[in-house]
Chain A
């Protein structure tokens, strides 16, 4: 079932439920809906990133309106999956799952999260203004759904963008950002790499950054992908190899030690004027714009990621919030009310103002928003052209990403060739998929 039909079904179901309910849509209010759950505490994991800081600033308002306490556990991204998996396996405390788009298959197949239908069809809990169609379809599909079922609502939303120092480009005689990856390497690279400065930094540290921000980023625009239609490795294809070889060639215009660069290092390199361009998640806009954390001030400019021979295909990443199955009924209801509220249309402008990036289309259509936040046009454009399976979202991704991280880094270091590395990843990836039962028909080929 397609996501579009799922949304229509859910929207229709919600409308019917509201119509049949003694409580009419006009009477619904968060305060009344939350009354039975006042005093309930819901536990959730937040990351140490701007979108979560924004949400935390909004929490007092929610708690005051509802009497529901939201207990936040902060942790770095690298710990978030492990912590949650252990908590769910042990039937622990988390009532809300923070779901990276590559975790959704894992969480859904293990039934650690509850389909949103349960709450959307409950007139006592469903906000009549929920308006699922207002979410960017790509984002709702990729971040919140698995196998045609909606589980979570997009909360911390990213698209890869090209952040660049327009002053450095102007000084080098370059008129605007590169349109294609080829231009970036062949024209911008030599022109901007001089006097201890570099044209580009591609964060490639051996963690999810290597898989998502570096490896996958050069696969898709060149027509490559992790898997073919039969779920066999597609990394030895001409297109995938072209992308991986491109990354090797581009490294001459990147700072030394780029394999040790995580997001912080790449963002800092641009913020300090050491590199002219980075491709980073939209969520880092606030860090780069803030004079306290960035020295480039008005030189900062944003564009969509460059196009490759196969199109733009920018990096896609982000998180949804879903209700955890292990929570009791009251906690589930309270958790849903929070998720629905924090991702609502009504709060989108405030979330944006505080440093978050909402996935609501309506907020970006508001007057003045595109002018005030200059990443908006690029973001909106990127969310039209992204690939949901930018990284496969099935349950086996945690195992596969470890393989990609190891051999992807070895490629960059020149320890193995792109062919050799791709062969290693492909063989190991197929072994994981075979073990999982994709090749004997036990599991559907869904990614």
Chain B
């Protein structure tokens, strides 16, 4: 502390004050590539989406795109189809995310235990495979694996005497199938984040805690969990945003069907924007989704991250 105080009191060398002055050119030179890129790929499309959301903007009627103000927003907010899709998206989130967190934490705790180094290395590597698989490929695999007659899932169920299940053609089962795939693909992500969090717990504190109590729950709750909160917040924010954007896997596996049973919000926006070509309405839906995502992210940070 004394050394630090001395450093602060020591007058800065003359040349260092010159070095601290950054010319405007340098400043712009370093910042502008990032700002321009962000403006081009993030802000400009967003601005365009907001602009189209206030017009009757249909790709098949581009001769006439009148300004309609907030009419598209009013249509979206009073449309039961939009809220049904939003409800399904949050149902997926509320079912899949706790499963991913619980299973991910369990895997992380197992891998955190000492011993069996080689097997744990193999396990860590294996965890990357689901995450590295392209979403669309996961959906296509699902379409084949969950096929009523020829799918491997029903074959396996047959071995234990369970009759073939109509996975893709039944609304409830189709939803269960997308929950299954989401959990399969993203539990490893949670596991790896939690494992990284566990490695930040100081060894001596954890060791001391284990000497104090035999209860693994006490160690987890009072020693390990505080170190996992930043990772948990990241998982919550990323997985929520990912689930709200979930498209490829569901689109390739069920296309939102049967009926509307797996039509998540992103599939609805794609359907309105690119199959019915109503870009105005789809943009309004997307802007509302963006607002919901931002609000949720802020809530997560407010309630979880602040406690650290």
Q: How far is the CA of A257 from the CA of B60 in the complex (A)?
A: 34
Contact of B149 among A206, A258, A274, A410 (CB under 8 A): A274
Contact of A205 among B166, B257, B277, B278 (CB under 8 A): B257
**Interface residue? B226 (CB, 8 A):** no
Contact (A398, B257) CB under 8 Å given A110-B60, A110-B62, A256-B166 = no
Q: How far is the CA of A415 from the CA of B278 in the complex (A)?
A: 27
Interface 1/0 per residue, A206-231 and B, CB below 8 Å: 11000000000000000000000000
Shortest Cβ distance from B276 into A: residue: A399
Q: Separation in Å of the A232 CB from the closest CB of chain B?
A: 21
**Chain B residues, CB < 8 A from A436:** 61
Q: Separation in Å of the B139 CB from the closest CB of chain A?
A: 14
**Chain A residues, CB < 8 A from B171:** 413, 415
Q: Separation in Å of the B230 CB from the closest CB of chain A?
A: 41
Q: How far is the CA of A261 from the CA of B63 in the complex (A)?
A: 38
**Interface residue? B258 (CB, 8 A):** yes
Shortest Cβ distance from B256 into A: residue: A206
Interface 1/0 per residue, B262-278 and A, CB below 8 Å: 00000000011011111
**Interface residue? A148 (CB, 8 A):** no
* B166 and A257 contact, CB distance less than 8 A: yes
Q: How far is the CA of A274 from the CA of B147 in the complex (A)?
A: 14
Q: Separation in Å of the B223 CB from the closest CB of chain A?
A: 49
Q: How far is the CA of A258 from the CA of B257 in the complex (A)?
A: 12
**Interface residue? B168 (CB, 8 A):** yes
Q: How far is the CA of A82 from the CA of B254 in the complex (A)?
A: 19
Q: Separation in Å of the B180 CB from the closest CB of chain A?
A: 16
Q: Separation in Å of the A73 CB from the closest CB of chain B?
A: 17
**Interface residue? B239 (CB, 8 A):** no
Contact (A406, B275) CB under 8 Å given A85-B60, A257-B170, A258-B169 = no
Q: Tally inter-chain residue pairs, CB-CB below 8 A.
A: 74
Contact of A106 among B60, B149, B256, B259 (CB under 8 A): B60
* B278 and A410 contact, CB distance less than 8 A: no
**Interface residue? A395 (CB, 8 A):** yes
Q: How far is the CA of A256 from the CA of B169 in the complex (A)?
A: 7
Contact (A205, B255) CB under 8 Å given A89-B62, A257-B148, A257-B168 = yes
* A406 and B259 contact, CB distance less than 8 A: yes
**Chain A residues, CB < 8 A from B169:** 256-261
* B148 and A82 contact, CB distance less than 8 A: no
**Interface residue? B59 (CB, 8 A):** yes
Q: Separation in Å of the A399 CB from the closest CB of chain B?
A: 4
**Chain A residues, CB < 8 A from B276:** 398-399, 402
Q: How far is the CA of A110 from the CA of B81 in the complex (A)?
A: 29
Contact of B258 among A86, A89, A398, A409 (CB under 8 A): A409
Q: How far is the CA of A81 from the CA of B60 in the complex (A)?
A: 11
Shortest Cβ distance from B275 into A: residue: A402
Report whether over half of chain B's contact residues are helix, strand or loop; otherwise say mixed.
loop
Shortest Cβ distance from B143 into A: residue: A260
Contact (A259, B259) CB under 8 Å given A398-B277, A399-B278 = yes
Interface 1/0 per residue, A370-411 and B, CB below 8 Å: 000000000000000000000000010011001000100110
Q: How far is the CA of A206 from the CA of B271 in the complex (A)?
A: 12
Among B61, B62, B81, find the residue whose CB has the most chain A CB atoms closer than 10 A.
B61
Q: How far is the CA of A256 from the CA of B171 in the complex (A)?
A: 12
Q: How far is the CA of A255 from the CA of B169 in the complex (A)?
A: 10
Contact of B277 among A85, A207, A255, A261 (CB under 8 A): A85
Contact of A406 among B62, B168, B174, B260 (CB under 8 A): B260
Q: Separation in Å of the B176 CB from the closest CB of chain A?
A: 14
Q: How far is the CA of A207 from the CA of B259 in the complex (A)?
A: 10
Contact (A207, B255) CB under 8 Å given A402-B276, A413-B171 = yes
Shortest Cβ distance from A396 into B: residue: B60
* B170 and A409 contact, CB distance less than 8 A: no
Q: How far is the CA of A81 from the CA of B274 in the complex (A)?
A: 9
**Chain B residues, CB < 8 A from A86:** 59
Q: How far is the CA of A256 from the CA of B148 in the complex (A)?
A: 9
A/B interface sample: 12 pairs, CB < 8 A: A81-B275, A85-B60, A256-B148, A256-B166, A257-B166, A260-B168, A260-B257, A398-B60, A399-B277, A409-B258, A415-B171, A415-B259
Task: State the 4 A-B residue pairs at the shortest beta-carbon distance, nearest first.
Answer: A257-B169, A206-B257, A260-B169, A259-B258
Where the two chains meet, the residues of A that have a C-beta atom closer than 8 Å to any C-beta of B are 81-82, 85-86, 89, 106, 110, 205-207, 255-261, 274, 395, 398-399, 402, 406, 409-410, 413, 415, 436
